Structure 1
């Protein structure tokens, strides 16, 4: 499966770096590159992009306004928001508008690849599952919150009242027990196989555990095929 990416960035050097980062992942190709939001909307009126890497601060039309227009026009593209700002208001507004990830400049190549993989995993999960069940729906609703709503970072395995919607105490403890016994890097497939939990559900719990600081993630590029997400207990 291949995905097209539109880069929306007013700094030519940053745009070029982002393009190089995208092309390092064989699942992705560049659909185009635009200098501001209006250019992006004009491009999207005539062309398709599966994913948009969208900068916040740009001339003519900034990223926030562009994202609003994308949603208003019902353009069927996921968005990774990129910004040098780290203020809560900007983060909250973009999350409510439904971004799949949010990158703070300067970000590392590895973190950019994780954002791409989040998108690819979500699309794959939607295509691979014909039957809706609660675990599947919960895994698609961005890491425990609708449209990327943040998961409480102080939520732990004890006390179900602290857990976000879609995270069950028993399943969480079972996955954490797996990592207590397996201290090396492991794949989501291995976690699913050993615990008996579906791979879609495992991905959902892995996202939660990464965000709450209990598990760290990395990407293995030496698989011979598409990159694989790896997990290890912190």
Structure 2
């Protein structure tokens, strides 16, 4: 079982997230914290494998909690779940090595997709002995549908925003009825303009990380819908 600590200062939200986690096979919630200080204490006490961490905590910013955990030698993984869309927060989360960044509000399918992907990555690198390049790439999130566009990005595109857009694509694949999202929907989830979102999405289509389809309405141009390539 993958042991999870839920950190959120809103007890109703924490209860919902706990219920979501416990619906996913192979995961169990071992504790809930409402403050950064409590989270640090419970990590030391309970040794969770994964922390679902809100950023807006009453006593400190969530990413400061990550820094304190790393300074204390804690090796638990962190999945950020937050309403913080600021680019600086996303960039810092990437630097802190979090395994994902999920924007509130979200439903069960979005969190389930992230948790299952996390479990798959843990299993992939759990075996003893040497790893292949493919397994190493997967551990760093650089292969398959989770490929991070950390190299050869067109001018004007950032690594951090590209990662956030790919997270939005992955969430759509597990949560949207058609498994896809439009540039406008992506822009809202990531917190960027629709034009910027479309540039990233079209880049992923060009590199083979995503595919596009057309949704026809009664009037006007068809809507371009993007989904991760499988």
What TM-score do the two structures reach when normalised by structure 1? 0.63
- Count of paired positions: 167
What residue in structure 2 maps to residue 80 of structure 1?
79
Superposed, which structure 2 residues align to 1:166-177 within 5 Å?
A: none
Cα contact 1:142–1:149 (8 A) shared by 2:
yes
Cα contact 1:54–1:63 (8 A) shared by 2:
yes
Q: How far does the alpha carbon of each residue in 1:195-232 deviate from its partner, in whole angstroms, 9 at most, with x for none?
A: xxxxxxxxxxxxx88x943389xxxxxxxxxxxxxx98
Change in CA separation of 1:138 and 1:60 when aligned onto 2, cut-off 3 Å: same
What residue in structure 1 maps to residue 4 of structure 2?
5
What residue in structure 2 maps to residue 41 of structure 1?
40
Please give the alpha-carbon distance, in whole angstroms, between the structure 1 residues aligned to 2:29 and 2:16.
12
SS in structure 1 of the partner of residue 30 of structure 2: strand
Q: Are 1:130 and 2:129 counterparts?
A: yes
Aligned match for 1:151, one of 128, 149, 152: 149
SS in structure 2 of the partner of residue 7 of structure 1: strand
Q: How far does the alpha carbon of each residue in 1:120-145 deviate from its partner, in whole angstroms, 9 at most, with x for none?
A: 0111011136322222211111236x
RMSD: 3.3
What residue in structure 1 maps to residue 13 of structure 2?
14
- TM-superposed CA distance for 1:55, in Å, is 0.2
Superposed, which structure 2 residues align to 1:144-223 within 5 Å?
A: 150-151=148-149, 212-214=209-211
What residue in structure 2 maps to residue 59 of structure 1?
58
Change in CA separation of 1:143 and 1:14 when aligned onto 2, cut-off 3 Å: farther
Cα contact 1:8–1:36 (8 A) shared by 2:
yes
Change in CA separation of 1:114 and 1:55 when aligned onto 2, cut-off 3 Å: same
Structure 1 unaligned blocks of 5 or more: 157-163, 165-184, 186-207, 217-230
What TM-score do the two structures reach when normalised by structure 2? 0.64
SS in structure 2 of the partner of residue 29 of structure 1: strand
Change in CA separation of 1:74 and 1:214 when aligned onto 2, cut-off 3 Å: farther
Change in CA separation of 1:77 and 1:60 when aligned onto 2, cut-off 3 Å: same
SS in structure 2 of the partner of residue 142 of structure 1: coil
Change in CA separation of 1:91 and 1:10 when aligned onto 2, cut-off 3 Å: same
